[in-house]
Amino acid sequence: MKWISRCILLSICTLAFLACEREFLYRGGQEGLSFSSDTIMFDTIFTSIGSTTKNFRVYNPYDEDMSIESIELAGGDNSDFRLNINGSSDFTAEEVRVRANDSLYIFVEVTIDPAGSNKPFVVTDSIYFRTKNRIQTVQLIAYGQDVILMRKKWLKSQTLTNEKPYLIYDYIVVDSAQTVTIDPGAKLYFYKDASMLVLGTLEVNGSAEEPVLFAGHRQEEWYNDKPGQWGYIHLLPGSGESKFNHCLIKNGMMGIMADSVGLNDTPINIHNTKIEHISTFGLLAQTSKLNVSNCVFGDCGNSSAALTVGGDYEFTHCTFANYFDWTYRNNPAVFLNNYYIDKNDKEQIVPLKQANFYNCIIYGNNISEIGFDLKYNNDEVPEADANYQFNNAIIKLSEDFDISDPKKFIDILKNEDPSFIDINEFNYQLDTLSSAKDIGTFDFAEPVPLDILGTNRLQDDGPDLGAYERKEKK
C-alpha cells in the first residue's frame, strides 16, 4: 500500500507544479515588440577574426507573458553573424518566452570571410522577429577588411606596403643582415601579446600625411586608448641602423625597446613619432645610442622614456606628456640610470656618455617627472659616468628639486604648465596661452625646422618647446 500512496502523492505534486507553471500562449498585438536599438553596427572587423560581442534588448510591452514565434537571421546558416539567445548560440530560435513588461537580451557576434579586396567593405544582415501579427527586423552592419596574416614569420629583405593591413600573431622577426622597409600609410596590427623583433634593420618611412601605424588588432572604438593589447618593437643587440620616421605606436605593453644598438657611431634615429597608450615603458633603452626629435611620448604606465645602463642619447623638440590614469604610476616620465647588478651581486657602472634634452617639454601628473639612479666611480668627476643636460625645457618637478647646476639645467621653466589643448583627449598641442610658445632656442630648432605635423617653427619670434609648433589662425 505504501507504494500506491507514494504514486498518488507524486501525481498530486506533478499536477500542482503544472498548475503553477506560467503559460506563454500570448503572441502579442499590433504594436509588436520594441527594441533598445533598431541597428547594430560593428567597427572594422579583420577577415577571419571574430568581433567583440554586442547586445541589445527586446521588450515585451504588454501586460501578458508572451512567446515570440521565432527569432532568426535572414541569412540563415550562410550569415557572417551569430546570435546568442538565452545561452544558446545559433542562427535561429523558436518559442522564445518573455514575461509581461520584461525584456530579453540578444547577443551578436560576426566573423567575416576574406573578400580578396584591398579596400574595406560592408557586410549586412537582419534579425527577423515573428509574432502573431507582425514581422519586425533589427539591422546588422559590419565593416570588413582583408588582411595579410603573419605568424612566427622570419622576414628577409622586403617592403611592407600600404595595400592591405598586416595582422601579426605571436611574432615576426627581421632576420639578421636583412632590411625590412615599411611604406607610408602601412598598418601593422598585432594580436594579443604579439611583438616585432629586429635582428637586422628596420626602416619605417612614414610621412606627415600617411604615418605608419603599429597598434593592437581590435578596431572597436572602446579599444582606441586601451594599453597593453600587444607586445612591443624590440631592437635586439647587434641589429642594424634602424630608423623610425612618422609613425604611431600605440596600445602595446611597451613601445620601442632598444637593447645595445646604435653603437657603431651611427645612432638609431626616431623622428616625428608618437608613442602612446602603453602599459609600461614608451621607450626603454639600454646601453644604446639614439637620436630622437619631434616625438611625443604620452600616456605610459611606467616611464615615457627610460634610458638605462648608460648610453648616448639626444632628444630635440620632444614632448613627454604622461597623465596615465589606468593604474598608479610610480616612475617619472623621464628616467636615467647608468649601472646594472652583475651575477655576483656587484654594481657595474656603464657610462652615460650623454643624455641631452633640447627645447623639450617634460610634464605629467606626478610630483616630479624626471628621475635619476646614477652611480659614480669618482665623485670628483661625475661627468665621466653620468653626463646629462636639460636645456631650454619646461619640467614638472617637486618644490625641493635642485636645478641650480648650470651645466645640467639651463633655462628651465619649473612647474610652468604647458597648457596642452586637451590632456583627456590626448591632444598635446599647445593652447594659445601656453608658456611653451616662442621660448625655444633657434640653435636647437634649426636642425629640425619642421614640427611633427610639418609646420615651420622658424618663422615667428621663436620656436615653441616640444614636438608641436602652434600656428595661430589669422
| Closest residue by Cα to residue 305 from 289, 322, 287, 329 | 322
Look at strands 386-395 and 409-414 and give their pairing: parallel
* pLDDT of 4: 45
* pLDDT of 9: 46
Look at strands 166-174 and 148-155 and give their pairing: parallel
What whole-number distance in Å separates Cα of residue 271 and Cα of residue 89?
Answer: 49
| Closest residue by Cα to residue 354 from 295, 404, 285 | 285
The end-to-end CA distance of the chain, in Å, is 104
Entry pTM: 0.83
Angle, CA of 381, 383 and 389, to the nearest 5°: 145
What whole-number distance in Å separates Cα of residue 209 and Cα of residue 427?
Answer: 18
Angle, CA of 375, 380 and 381, to the nearest 5°: 70
Q: Is 174 left (phi over 0), alpha (psi -120 to 50) or beta?
A: beta
**Cα–Cα distance list, 410 to 392, 415, 467 (Å):** 6, 15, 19
- CA dihedral of 290, 347, 301, 219, whole degrees rounded to 10: 60
What whole-number distance in Å separates Cα of residue 402 and Cα of residue 180?
Answer: 45
* pLDDT of 121: 81
Tens of pLDDT, residues 73-86? 999 988 999 999 98
Residues 263 and 240: beta-carbon distance below 8 Å: no
**Cα–Cα distance list, 307 to 232, 244, 352, 444 (Å):** 17, 18, 9, 21
* pLDDT of 18: 40
For 213, residues 6+ apart whose C-beta sits below 8 A from its C-beta are 186, 187, 188, 189, 247, 248, 250
For 326, residues 6+ apart whose C-beta sits below 8 A from its C-beta are 227, 279, 301
For 259, residues 6+ apart whose C-beta sits below 8 A from its C-beta are 234, 235, 236, 237, 286, 287, 288
Q: What is the DSSP string of 38-77?
A: SEEEEEEEETTS----EEEEEE--SSS-EEEEEEEETTGG
What whole-number distance in Å separates Cα of residue 372 and Cα of residue 242?
Answer: 27
| Closest residue by Cα to residue 84 from 51, 130, 43 | 51
Counting as low any pLDDT under 50, the low residues of the chain are 1-20
What whole-number distance in Å separates Cα of residue 409 and Cα of residue 194?
Answer: 40
* pLDDT of 10: 47
What whole-number distance in Å separates Cα of residue 356 and Cα of residue 306?
Answer: 13
What whole-number distance in Å separates Cα of residue 344 and Cα of residue 93?
Answer: 67
Residue 277 host element (H or E): strand 274-278
User: Thinking of the domain 34-144, which architecture would CATH place it in?
Assistant: Sandwich (2.60)
* pLDDT of 90: 82
For 393, residues 6+ apart whose C-beta sits below 8 A from its C-beta are 357, 358, 359, 360, 361, 362, 411, 412, 413, 465
* pLDDT of 472: 81
Look at strands 233-235 and 256-259 and give their pairing: parallel
Angle, CA of 363, 368 and 370, to the nearest 5°: 75
For 370, residues 6+ apart whose C-beta sits below 8 A from its C-beta are 332, 333, 334, 335, 336, 362, 390, 395, 397
Residue extents of the structural domains in the chain = 34-144, 147-445
